[in-house]
Structures are given as structure tokens and as C-alpha cells.
């Protein structure tokens, strides 16, 4: 079967690998139909994702159809459309025991530490599969995984209707966070350097927009909150200076969420954190949030229609990655598709 492998940073190859077979543990065989390209996938490609190991078949936004089930499978059947949880945890370390398996001490992530979804077939445990909403196309279903990341970050932030939230970055991650954050009732400020993305965010529920090429985000955030600053800030840009920007912008007793994976040094001002008694919290992956996202879709509270801007067949993955690198303003979410045999 065909697969896309990052051999080493900067080197992407279309390879042939053995089709997986079912085992007692990996008891569901999935024929892949769509897989998203995430910023962290680009980080693995460029060598800036500190968690990745090489060579690696990447892809953690994974959608497909069940082709075969093992003897012990009880809830899934051949023909079911599913999305696959990317988190593989041990179940017995401290993090797992307190219900935070997404930061398991021996965490393995599909597409990062073990092979992921950029391949024609995958074999995984039944409990890692979630049934897709019937009305959701496979390409758009890919966005359920980024939605779980958004749900996790808002959950970690303790976001509620009394908050004013600042989202820095209106790309795929920021847009997903906005979709979830608006369900909380919080006031929402978005900040980005691309005016088109800001206008789209306003249409999708943001209350205020700040163009960081024309305005100072710290000054504007305070102006929009009567001088206090947002009570929650989420870094969906993950640049070298974005964390310090949000520390400066966030009001006293606020929460600042960091989600980046760069190991490059970044400036942090202790006085700003201590004097305002800020909570600086990491948010990684998701912690069994797939069903939450799917329930929101089925209840009509979350609409993923129109979120995919471009698709490429698996064989043109290099072209897709080059396009992502172009930073074309039309890019929202890019998805790889798998052609029928």
C-alpha cells in the first residue's frame, strides 16, 4: 500500500509499505479516505516539532471506513465511517491515573511517535474509533480532530460566559477554537495579520478583531476591555514572541494558554506573571474529546461546512506541503484524499 513518510526533516517520500493485518489489540482495519495537514505536520516536515521521531508516516487527522473487524469487535461493523483518536496512552502512569492520558508519561501519538494516517490502510483498536455523523463528508470530518484540540484548550482554560477571550491567530487552529469558544457565551477578541481571516472570524462569531499589522494587540485588547485586559488568552499563532504578547495583554488573575511545540528559546517576563498572578497553562492534543465534538455536530451546535479550502490526492502530498509553505492567503485547511482502487 502507498504511504507518505517524512524520512528526515525536509525529505518527504511516497513509499510502499505492507498492508496491516488485524491482531488481538489492533482489531479494526480501516481504509483511509481523508487526512488533514496540520501545522504540527508541517513542523515534523521542517524539523521544528520537538516531539517527532523519524522516519515517520505522519498524519493525525484520520478519517476512513471500516473494511474488516476482528473477532472481539462489538460496536463497529464493516462499512462504518470513523475518525481515529491519535492518542495512545499507557493507562497506569500518574497522568493516566488522574484522567489526563493525553500527557501520559509514555505517550505515543499516531503520526508523531508511531505511524499515522497518511497511508491507505490502518489497523487500530476498536476503542480508538468514533462513528462519524452521517451528514458530514469525509473531508470535512477531518476537522473533528482540530475541534477536539479546541475543546481541550477551552476546557483547560476554564472558559465561561463571564470571560473575555483573546485568540491570537485565525488560521485553522484559531478558527476551530473560535467555533468552540463562542458556545461558552464569552466575549471574543481575535487577532491576526491577515484581514480576510479577521473578517471571516467576525462572521463566525468573534466580537472584535485586531489587525496586528496595523494595531498593537496589547493596547487594543486592553482598550476593548476597559483597560483590564482579557481574562483568558489562547495562543493559536505559536510564534517566538506570541507568549510574551499574551502575558502582557492578559488581565490580572487571567489564564494564558500555550499550545506551541517549538523548542526555540522564547522570552518570558516573570514580573508580568507574578504581579498579575497569571495562570500559564499548556494544552496538548485532546483528552477523549472526540465524542464531545461529534455530539455538538449531531445536536446542530457545531457546523464544519466550508472549513476545507483545498484538497490534494495522497500522491501529490509534496505539492500540498509546498502549497502550505507558500502561505497563500486562501489557505484555511488542506486535506489529502485517497483515491478509490
pLDDT tops 80 at residue 142? yes
The pLDDT of residue 329:
81
The pLDDT of residue 200:
93
pLDDT tops 80 at residue 102? yes
CA distance 48 to 258: 16
Total domain count, the chain = 2
Nearest alpha-carbon partner for 13 in 43, 45, 38: 45
The pLDDT of residue 341:
42
Whole-number CA gyration radius for the chain: 20
The pLDDT of residue 118:
98
The pLDDT of residue 154:
98
98, 107 in Cβ contact below 8 A? Answer: no
CA distance 89 to 85: 11
Residue 95's domain is classified under what CATH number?
3.90.180.10
Domain extent at residue 215: 147-282
Q: Render 42-61 in DSSP notation, one character per residue.
A: HHHHHT--TT--SSEE---S
Average pLDDT estimate for 123-144: 96
Based on the domain organization, do 255 and 153 belong to the same domain?
Answer: yes
- The x, y and z cell numbers of residue 21, run together, are 493485518
- As a whole-number percent, the residues of the chain with pLDDT over 70 amount to 99
45, 324 in Cβ contact below 8 A? Answer: no
What is the three-class DSSP state of 225? coil
Residue 169's domain is classified under what CATH number?
3.40.50.720
CA-CA distances (angstroms) from residue 222 to 187, 188, 226, 248?
13, 13, 6, 10
Contacts of 227 (CB under 8 A, 6+ apart): none
* 14-28, 128-142, 255-269, 281-295: least confidently modelled range: 255-269
pLDDT tops 90 at residue 234? yes
Based on the domain organization, do 223 and 253 belong to the same domain?
Answer: yes
Based on the domain organization, do 155 and 259 belong to the same domain?
Answer: yes
Verify cis geometry, omega within 30 degrees of 0, for the bond prior to 55. yes
Question: Could you tell me where the DSSP H helices lie in 182-308?
Answer: 195-203, 217-223, 242-249, 270-275, 290-298
204, 179 in Cβ contact below 8 A? Answer: yes
Residues 175-221 have pLDDT tens digits of 999 999 999 999 999 999 999 999 999 999 999 999 999 999 999 99
Average pLDDT score over the chain: 95
Residues 273-307 have pLDDT tens digits of 999 999 999 999 999 999 999 999 999 999 998 88
- Residue 28 belongs to some domain of the structure: yes
- Residue 288 belongs to some domain of the structure: no
- Residue 246 belongs to some domain of the structure: yes
156 CB neighbour count, 10 Å cutoff: 18
- Residue 152 belongs to some domain of the structure: yes
pLDDT tops 80 at residue 135? yes
**Grid coordinates 464569552 are at which residue?**
186
Per-residue confidence at 340, pLDDT binned at 50, 70, 90? Answer: low
Amino acid at each position: 500500500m502507498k504511504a507518505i513518510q517524512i524520512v528526515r526533516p525536509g525529505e518527504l517520500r511516497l513509499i510502499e509499505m505492507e498492508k496491516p493485518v488485524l491482531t488481538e489489540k489492533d482489531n479494526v482495519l480501516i481504509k483511509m479516505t481523508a487526512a488533514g495537514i496540520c501545522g504540527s505536520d508541517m513542523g515534523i516536515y521542517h524539523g521544528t516539532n520537538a516531539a517527532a521521531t523519524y522516519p515517520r508516516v505522519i498524519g493525525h487527522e484520520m478519517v476512513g471506513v471500516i473494511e474488516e473487524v476482528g473477532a472481539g469487535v462489538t460496536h463497529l461493523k464493516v462499512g462504518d465511517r470513523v475518525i481515529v483518536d491519535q492518542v495512545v496512552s499507557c493507562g497506569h502512569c500518574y497522568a493516566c491515573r488522574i484522567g489526563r492520558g493525553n500527557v501520559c508519561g509514555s505517550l505515543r501519538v499516531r503520526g508523531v511517535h508511531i505511524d499515522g494516517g497518511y497511508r491507505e490502510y490502518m489497523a487500530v483498536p476498536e476503542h480508538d474509533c468514533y462513528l462519524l455523523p452521517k451528514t458530514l463528508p469525509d473531508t470535512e470530518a477531518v476537522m473533528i480532530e482540530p475541534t477536539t484540540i479546541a475543546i481541550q484548550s477551552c476546557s483547560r482554560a476554564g472558559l465561561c460566559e463571564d470571560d473575555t477571550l483573546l485568540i491570537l491567530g485565525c488560521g485553522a487552529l484559531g478558527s476551530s477554537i473560535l467555533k468552540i469558544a463562542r458556545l461558552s457565551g464569552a466575549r471574543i477578541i481575535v487577532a491576526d495579520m491577515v484581514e480576510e481571516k479577521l473578517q471571516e472570524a467576525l462572521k463566525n462569531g468573534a466580537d472584535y478583531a485586531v489587525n496586528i499589522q496595523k494595531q498593537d494587540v496589547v493596547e487594543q485588547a486592553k482598550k476593548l476591555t476597559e483597560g483590564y485586559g482579557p481574562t483568558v488568552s489562547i495562543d493559536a499563532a505559536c510564534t517566538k514572541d506570541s507568549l510574551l504578547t499574551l502575558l502582557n495583554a492578559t488581565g490580572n488573575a487571567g489564564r494564558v494558554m500555550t499550545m506551541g511545540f517549538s523548542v526555540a528559546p522564547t522570552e518570558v517576563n516573570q514580573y508580568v506573571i507574578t504581579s498579575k498572578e497569571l495562570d500559564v497553562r499548556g494544552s496538548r492534543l485532546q483528552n477523549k474529546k472526540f465524542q464531545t465534538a461529534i455530539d455538538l455536530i449531531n445536536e446542530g451546535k457545531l457546523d464544519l461546512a466550508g472549513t476545507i479550502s483545498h484538497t490534494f490526492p495522497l500522491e501529490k502530498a509534496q505539492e500540498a506541503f509546498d502549497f502550505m509553505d507558500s502561505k497563500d492567503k486562501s489557505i484555511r485547511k488542506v486535506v489529502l484524499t485517497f483515491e478509490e482502487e
